[in-house]
């Protein structure tokens, strides 16, 4: 190493050594993901307000504890990853304040937030207000599109972001499709008509139908069945029995009650892609449309965790489009965008002038 290089390295090290901690936070309607270096925390984005019986003061049970204690009564304050009004923004502030404390996130940090759609201006304004009020990100903060960041969870890291690709983001309250041309989002479409929450509702209905109305599980249980047993690769017979006082015992096949809703979900997803998103992309940017069809689609979001879903979706898309389609999925697709957000924060700290 030459003297000049050595000096440059020393200066770079000094620049890096500001003690600023990089943090990536993905705000999702169902799950919030916090990445700090080697740690990834996944927290249910919900709170439950209660009143202290002695002092009468408002108290909040937050995240996973709220879900465990209150089930469907816990309030998920985001829709499509954004608050819809001031009350929801207040709940988000309580929620973030709690996780900052719980995970010891420091003020001296650079925080990149991944949010589902940056098109909804009112929602983005509310998010900006909330993140300006929480005690992290004093060295800087920024907001990025969640699907876009998911792409940087591949080994190429943030270099990936500068490429041309299509992302399919399978969330709980929304599905988002994003076409990226050399780092620029050129088309973004969000729908609530294909989403994980809907699958939970269909599973609940299937169980009701199977037991002729006797067994009525809550949506949290339906979701838990989906997350535990959904598998499009390996068919396993899973039987559940519920003993209802006076009415006797009811049994049903969980696997059957799950598979039908998931297939219906995939059919809707394929329709949304082939009848709405891709035609619009072809009309507005034909050459990008041709390019992305020839490349691998990127699949992220919690529903992409379902074993075999990626392959089944590729087959269905190939049938609908009459051409071979391949799909790639980062490891742990439900936390991918938070890892991408973390990489942006890290890059900012390392390249600070
Ligand atoms: N292992 C799993 N198996 C099946 N489904 C899963 C699994 N993990 C998560 N999901 C489902 O994925 C969905 C949550 O995905 P994700 O965390 O990407 O949503 P979100 O970003 O919080 O929501 P939105 O994008 O609507 O704001 C839920 O429907 C959840 O049940
Ligand atoms: Mg999402």
What 3-state class would DSSP assign to 234? coil
Does residue 296 belong to any structural domain of this protein? no
* Domain termination residue (choose one: 244, 259, 274): 259
CA–centroid distance, 44 to ligand 2, in Å, is 12
Do both 38 and 129 map to the same domain?
Answer: yes
Do both 149 and 240 map to the same domain?
Answer: no
Does residue 246 belong to any structural domain of this protein? yes
- Domain total of the chain: 2
Per-residue confidence at 3, pLDDT binned at 50, 70, 90? low
Asked if pLDDT for residue 271 goes beyond 70, the answer is yes
Do both 246 and 138 map to the same domain?
Answer: no
Atom 25 of ligand 1: nearest residue by CA position: 171
Atom of ligand 1 nearest to the CA of 170: 18
Contact 114, 124 (CB under 8 A): no
Do both 84 and 203 map to the same domain?
Answer: no
Atom of ligand 1 nearest to the CA of 307: 3
Atom of ligand 1 nearest to the CA of 300: 18
Does residue 175 belong to any structural domain of this protein? no
What integer is the mean pLDDT of 62-77? 92
Do both 54 and 147 map to the same domain?
Answer: yes
Atom 31 of ligand 1: nearest residue by CA position: 223
Do both 27 and 117 map to the same domain?
Answer: yes
What 3-state class would DSSP assign to 227? helix
Do both 26 and 126 map to the same domain?
Answer: yes
What CATH number has the domain bearing residue 137? Answer: 3.30.420.40
Asked if pLDDT for residue 7 goes beyond 60, the answer is no
Do both 104 and 29 map to the same domain?
Answer: yes
* Domain termination residue (choose one: 239, 259, 279): 259
Tell me what percent of the residues of the chain surpass a pLDDT of 90.
71
Per-residue confidence at 177, pLDDT binned at 50, 70, 90? very high
Q: Which residues line ligand 1 (CB under 6 A)?
A: 28-31, 80-81, 116, 171-174, 196-197, 223, 226-227, 230, 301-303, 305-306, 334
Do both 60 and 141 map to the same domain?
Answer: yes
Does residue 110 belong to any structural domain of this protein? yes
172, 203, 313: residue to mutate for ligand 1 pocket, most atoms within 8 A of CB: 172
Domain residues for 225?
A: 197-259
Q: What is the per-residue pLDDT across 25-56, written as a single tens digit (0 to 9) for each?
A: 999 999 999 999 889 999 999 999 988 889 88
What integer is the mean pLDDT of 163-170? 94
CA–centroid distance, 2 to ligand 1, in Å, is 51
Tell me what pLDDT residue 155 has.
Answer: 83
Atom 15 of ligand 1: nearest residue by CA position: 302
Tell me what pLDDT residue 263 has.
Answer: 97
Does residue 97 belong to any structural domain of this protein? yes
Neighbours of 175 (CB within 10 A): 28
Tell me what pLDDT residue 1 has.
Answer: 55
Tell me what pLDDT residue 235 has.
Answer: 78
Atom of ligand 1 nearest to the CA of 81: 27
Instruction: Kindly write down the DSSP assignment for every residue of 9-50, as one continuous string.
Output: HHHHHHHH-S-PEEEEEEE-SSEEEEEETTEEEEEESEEEEE
Please state the pTM of the whole predicted model.
Answer: 0.89
Q: What is the per-residue burial (b if ≥16 Cβ within 10 Å, else e) of 142-170? A: ebbbbbbbbbbbbeeeeebbeebbbbbbb
Does residue 267 belong to any structural domain of this protein? no
H or E stretch at 184: strand 184-191
Do both 140 and 18 map to the same domain?
Answer: yes
Atom of ligand 1 nearest to the CA of 30: 22
* Domain termination residue (choose one: 236, 259, 282): 259
Do both 105 and 213 map to the same domain?
Answer: no
Do both 138 and 201 map to the same domain?
Answer: no
Does residue 166 belong to any structural domain of this protein? no
Does residue 287 belong to any structural domain of this protein? no
CA–centroid distance, 26 to ligand 2, in Å, is 8
265 vs 118, higher pLDDT: 265
Structure tokens at 269: 């997803």
Asked if pLDDT for residue 8 goes beyond 80, the answer is no
């Amino acid at each position: 190493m030459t003297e000049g290089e050595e000096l440059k390295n020393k200066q770079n090290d000094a620049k890096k050594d500001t003690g600023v901690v990089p943090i990536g936070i993905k705000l999702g309607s169902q799950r919030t993901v916090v990445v700090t270096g080697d740690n990834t925390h996944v927290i249910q984005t919900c709170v439950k307000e209660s009143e202290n019986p002695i002092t009468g003061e408002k108290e909040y049970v937050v995240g996973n504890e709220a879900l465990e204690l209150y089930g469907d009564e816990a309030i998920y304050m985001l829709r499509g990853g954004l608050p819809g009004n001031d009350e929801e923004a207040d709940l988000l502030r309580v929620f973030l304040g709690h996780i900052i404390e719980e995970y010891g996130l420091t003020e001296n940090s650079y925080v990149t937030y991944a949010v589902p759609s940056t098109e909804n201006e009112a929602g983005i304004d509310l998010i900006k207000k909330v993140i300006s009020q929480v005690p992290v990100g004093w060295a800087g903060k920024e907001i990025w599109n969640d699907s876009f960041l998911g792409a940087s969870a591949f080994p190429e890291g943030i270099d990936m972001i500068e490429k041309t690709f299509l992302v399919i983001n399978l969330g709980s309250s929304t599905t988002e499709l994003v076409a990226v041309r050399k780092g620029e989002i050129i088309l973004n479409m969000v729908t609530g008509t294909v989403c994980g929450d809907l699958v939970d509702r269909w599973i609940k209905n299937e169980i009701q139908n199977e037991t002729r109305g006797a067994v009525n599980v809550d949506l949290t249980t339906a979701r838990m069945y989906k997350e535990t047993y959904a598998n499009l690769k390996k068919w396993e017979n899973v039987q559940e029995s519920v003993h209802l006082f006076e009415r006797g015992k009811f049994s049903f096949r969980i696997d059957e009650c799950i598979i039908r809703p998931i297939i219906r979900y995939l059919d809707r997803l394929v329709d949304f892609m082939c009848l709405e998103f891709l035609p619009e992309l072809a009309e507005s940017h034909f050459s990008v449309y041709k390019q992305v069809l020839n490349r691998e689609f990127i699949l992220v979001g919690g529903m992409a965790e379902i074993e075999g879903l990626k392959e089944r979706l590729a087959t269905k898309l190939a049938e609908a489009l009459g051409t071979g389609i391949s799909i790639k999925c980062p490891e742990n697709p439900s936390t991918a965008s938070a890892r991408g957000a973390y990489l942006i924060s890290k890059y900012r700290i390392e390249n600070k002038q």
